Structure 1
Amino acid sequence: MTRPWIVVTAILAVAVFEVAAYLRAREFMLIAAGVPVAIALCCFVWVLLRPEKKEKELVDEMENGPAEMLRHWHARAEMLVDRADGNRADWDRHLRPLLAKEFQLSAGLRVSKNRRALENAGIHLFGAELWRWVDPADSALRDQNTPAPGRAALDEILSRLQRM
């Protein structure tokens, strides 16, 4: 029962009791008005003092709440880490674009503006061995079934990006 329903019910009850008391016994009009008001006050106190379970459940079940966002982020991170142990096709399709974009944003360089500067900065930061796994131009249709570099290489690439 919500507050507006309590108010509406109390007003209707007082009106009914007043009409009945006026028609039957006028000396009981004060008591007839007091009983519904007392019941309404008891309902208000009960509503105010009971624990709010519905609001807490809604906070936990929010679709875009912090807990849900953290679960989605964690699931996506696990999926990307699993791709690091997959084959080169998975790496090229899922990890390379993310790593290349992150590197370009961190370095402030774009492939379209100066490819040679981007490549030199990548080799300088990652080294030739790791750069080939970040280089956005190195994803080719060849060699798609060879294994990806693995979690250790992904961890090293991410730590170097973080230090940048």
Structure 2
Amino acid sequence: MTKLVVGAVALVVAVQAFAFTQLERELVLTATGAALVVALLALRRRLVPNRDPEDEHVGDEADAALRRWRGRTETLIAWAESSRADWDRRLRPMLARQFELAGGHRKAKDPNVYQMTGRMVFGDELWQWVDPQNISRTGGREPGPGREVLHDILVRLAKL
């Protein structure tokens, strides 16, 4: 960086010295301006890296992934705040699967251990909303548990 600045100053001084020997004022001004522009362009090129089109592509992919995640999260919250049937159909299987993966206890292996672990992790209040066996056959008109319950369940899953 220092070499670039010293070189730019030397170039401007050399151009001015040459232009003064010619004794033409327009030439002095034009030559000095041109040398200064070249020096500033070199400095800018050195300080501001070129943008790679692939970097923009990566940014677009990250933005698209963030939009997909946000849309999915908004959908999950909407299901949590709608009816019990939506909760049972859409959220309960996903939460139960995440519990099996996070806890390492498979329901098919030992249902009693699975139930006891679920009650220990979530407590009786939250376990009723995760337990895959607690599906309501007439829950179409009942309200879902809501955003707060979903949040509490996800926090407890994250702690596993």
Query: TM-score per shorter chain, which class?
Result: 0.5 to 0.7
The Cα offsets for residues 4-44 of structure 1, whole Å up to 9 and x where unpaired, read as: xxxxxxxxxxxxxxxxxxxxxxxxxxxxxxxxxxxxxxxxx
1:148 aligns with 2:144: yes
In structure 2, relative to structure 1, the CA distance for the partners of 1:66 and 1:118 (3 Å cut) is same
Residue segments in structure 1 that go unaligned for 5+ positions in a row = 1-48
Share of identical aligned residues, percent? 38
- The residue number in structure 2 matching 1:108 is 104
C-alpha distance in structure 2 between counterparts of 1:57 and 1:105, whole Å = 35
Residue segments in structure 2 that go unaligned for 5+ positions in a row = 1-44
C-alpha distance in structure 2 between counterparts of 1:103 and 1:146, whole Å = 25
The Cα offsets for residues 115-148 of structure 1, whole Å up to 9 and x where unpaired, read as: 1111100011111111010001212422222011
In structure 2, relative to structure 1, the CA distance for the partners of 1:54 and 1:138 (3 Å cut) is same
- The residue number in structure 1 matching 2:85 is 89
- The residue number in structure 1 matching 2:67 is 71
TM norm structure 1: 0.61
1:55 aligns with 2:53: yes
- The residue number in structure 1 matching 2:5 is none
1:139 aligns with 2:135: yes
Shift of 1:154: 0.8
The Cα offsets for residues 28-65 of structure 1, whole Å up to 9 and x where unpaired, read as: xxxxxxxxxxxxxxxxxxxxx9xx89937972795xx1
Letter in 2 for 1:105: L
Secondary structure in structure 1 of the residue aligned to 2:133: helix
Report how many residues are paired. Answer: 113
C-alpha distance in structure 1 between counterparts of 2:84 and 2:146, whole Å = 10
C-alpha distance in structure 1 between counterparts of 2:83 and 2:122, whole Å = 21
Which segments of structure 1 move beyond 6 Å, counting only runs of 4 or more? Answer: none
Shift of 1:93: 1.3
Task: Note the aligned Cα RMSD (angstroms).
Answer: 2.4
TM norm structure 2: 0.62
